[in-house]
Structure 1
Amino acid sequence: MGLIAVGDIHGCLESLNALLDRLNPSSDDHLLFVGDYIDRGPDSRGVIDRLLDLRESISCTFLRGNHEAMMIDYLDSGAFSLWRMNGGVSTLQSYLKGEGSEVHIPAAHAEFVRDTKLYHETDDFLFVHAGLRPDLTVEENLDQPDEEVLLWERGHLEASGLAWEKTVVCGHTPQPDPISHEKLILIDTGCVYHMKPGMGRLTAVHLPQREFIDVPYADG
C-alpha cells in the first residue's frame, strides 16, 4: 500500500484535482491530508465535496488544520473574529446559496470538519498539521496533546535540534520548496499564495521513499 501525504489546499479545488490526476491513487493507496482544506482560496466548499467523494473509493485520513479549528469554533459558538482575519470570509462565500445570499453549510460538511483528527502516527512517521514542540520527544508531545501546538506551532523550524524519535510530517508554514530533513518533512508550498514569488504549488509526498510531487496553482 502506498502512503501519500498531501499539503495545505486552502480552497484551491482545481489544483487539488490536478494533483490527484498526477497521483492517480488506487484502492491500495492511503492518502493522508495534513489539514487546511478551507479559507483564502476560491472554492472551499468544492474542496470538501471533492474530499468526501474521494474517500468513497480511496482510503483517506483527514487531519485538522488551524483553519478547520476556526471553522469549528464558528459552527459551535458563532465565533468569527479570528476566522475572519484568517480567510473565513472566502469560505462562507463559497457556501452562499441563491439570490438571497444565504450561507448554507451542509451537515455533511460540518461533520467532515468536526471529524478531522489532530494527528496520525505510524511506526516511522508522525503526521500533524503544524508541528510539535521541538524540545520534547514525539511521545512526550502526545502524552497530553496540546491542540494549540499541534495546530499552530512553528518553533521546530528555527530550533537548533529536534528531540523527536521519528520523522514528523506537517504543513502549516508555507515554504518555496518542501523541507526534507531526517526528522522533519514539511509539504506546504503555499498553493494559495500563488501571487507571492516562489509560492503557488500544491505538494504531496510518497512515503517512505520521500518522492515529492507538485502541481502549480490552477484557477478554473
Structure 2
Amino acid sequence: MPDIKQIIAIGDIHGCAESSKTLLTKLNDQYGNDPVYVFVGDYIDRGPDSKKAVEDLIHFDEDHRCIFLRGNHDQMLLDAYEKNEWDLWLSNGGNTTLANYNSGPGKFDLPESHYDFFKDTILYWETEDFFFVHGGILPDLTIKENLESDYERSQFLWQRDHVYSRRNHWEKTVVFGHTPVREPIVEENMIGIDTGCVYQEEGFGILTAVVLPEMKFIQQESKDF
C-alpha cells in the first residue's frame, strides 16, 4: 500500500455499532481518507448490534483505505458458518450475533457481503515500523521467528503472554487488541488498544483509536448501553 504517512488503528468493536459509528465519524472529520485505517478485529459478539457494526464498516471501506484484521470472535463465526462448529462460538457470545441476524445455530442467515467481509480479514499487517495483530505474538521470540512458526501463527488470535510479561524481543512496535484494559497499554514495542467498549464495568466502556506515528489516542465512550 503506497504513500502511507499516517495510520489509525481502532480497537475491538464487539457489536457496539453506535460507538463505532461515532468514533469513525470523529476520525473522518479530523483526518479524512488520507490515513490507512487498521481495525484490529473482533467486530462482533456481546454488543447490541453486530450486524449493523459490520454493515457500517463495509460502507466505511468504500471510501477509506482500510485493513481489517481477523479477531478470535471473527474466526469463531467463520468456523460455525463454514464448518458447523458452534459450541465454542456460542459459549463466547455468538448467540448475540446470531440474534442480530435473526438466525440460530445451524441456520445462520449471513448476507454474502458480510461473509466476504469476514472471509477477507487477515491475520496480521505490518509496515516498516509497526506490526498489527489481533491478540498478539509470543514475546520470547522476534517477530520474524513468530511468523516462521506455524504454531505461533495459530496463536496470533488468542495470544496474551506479552500483556503479562511486558518484555519482548520484537524488532518493531506491535499494536494489538483482544485483551481489555482500562487504559491503553503503552510499553516498549507494544501498544494495546482494546479498552473494553462492550463492557459496562467501571473503567471500561470505551472504544479507542491510536494515530500513528504520533501516538495520539482518540477515544469514544460507549453509546450502546
User: What band does the TM-score fall into relative to the shorter chain?
Assistant: over 0.9
SS in 2 for 1:96: coil
Match of 1:82 in 2: 88
Compute the TM-score of the two structures, normalised by the length of structure 1.
Answer: 0.94
Q: Is the 8 Å Cα contact of residues 119 and 127 (structure 1) preserved in structure 2?
A: yes
Q: Is the 8 Å Cα contact of residues 147 and 153 (structure 2) preserved in structure 1?
A: no
Q: Which of the numbers 118, 127, 133 marks the counterpart of 2:132?
A: 127
Match of 1:53 in 2: 59
Match of 1:8 in 2: 12
Match of 2:145 in 1: 140
Q: Is the 8 Å Cα contact of residues 14 and 44 (structure 2) preserved in structure 1?
A: yes
Q: 1:61: Cα distance to partner?
A: 0.2
Deviations 1:100-158 (A, max 9, x none): xx742101111110110000010000000000001000111112343432000000012
Equivalent AA in structure 2 for residue 20 of structure 1: L
Q: What CA distance in whole angstroms lies between the structure 2 residues aligned with 1:147 and 1:113?
A: 18
Are 1:20 and 2:19 an aligned pair? Answer: no
Equivalent AA in structure 2 for residue 5 of structure 1: A
User: What is the Cα-based RMSD across aligned positions, in Å?
Assistant: 1.4
Match of 2:222 in 1: 217
Q: 1:161: Cα distance to partner?
A: 2.1
Q: Which of the numbers 141, 149, 157 marks the counterpart of 2:155?
A: 149
Are 1:43 and 2:37 an aligned pair? Answer: no
Q: Structure 1 stretch 153-162 or stretch 209-218: which is displaced more?
A: 153-162
SS in 1 for 2:99: helix
Q: What CA distance in whole angstroms lies between the structure 2 residues aligned with 1:212 and 1:121?
A: 20
User: Any gaps of 5 or more consecutive residues in structure 2?
Assistant: none
SS in 2 for 1:209: coil
SS in 2 for 1:109: helix
**Given the superposition, is the C-alpha separation of residues 20 and 160 from structure 1 closer, same or farther in structure 2, using an over 3 Å criterion?**
closer
Q: Is the 8 Å Cα contact of residues 93 and 103 (structure 1) preserved in structure 2?
A: no
SS in 2 for 1:49: helix
User: Any gaps of 5 or more consecutive residues in structure 1?
Assistant: none
Give 4+ residue runs of structure 1 displaced > 4 Å after superposition.
Answer: none
SS in 2 for 1:152: coil
Identity between Structure 1 and Structure 2 (%) = 48
Matched ranges for 1:152-171 at <5 A: 152-159=158-165, 161-171=167-177
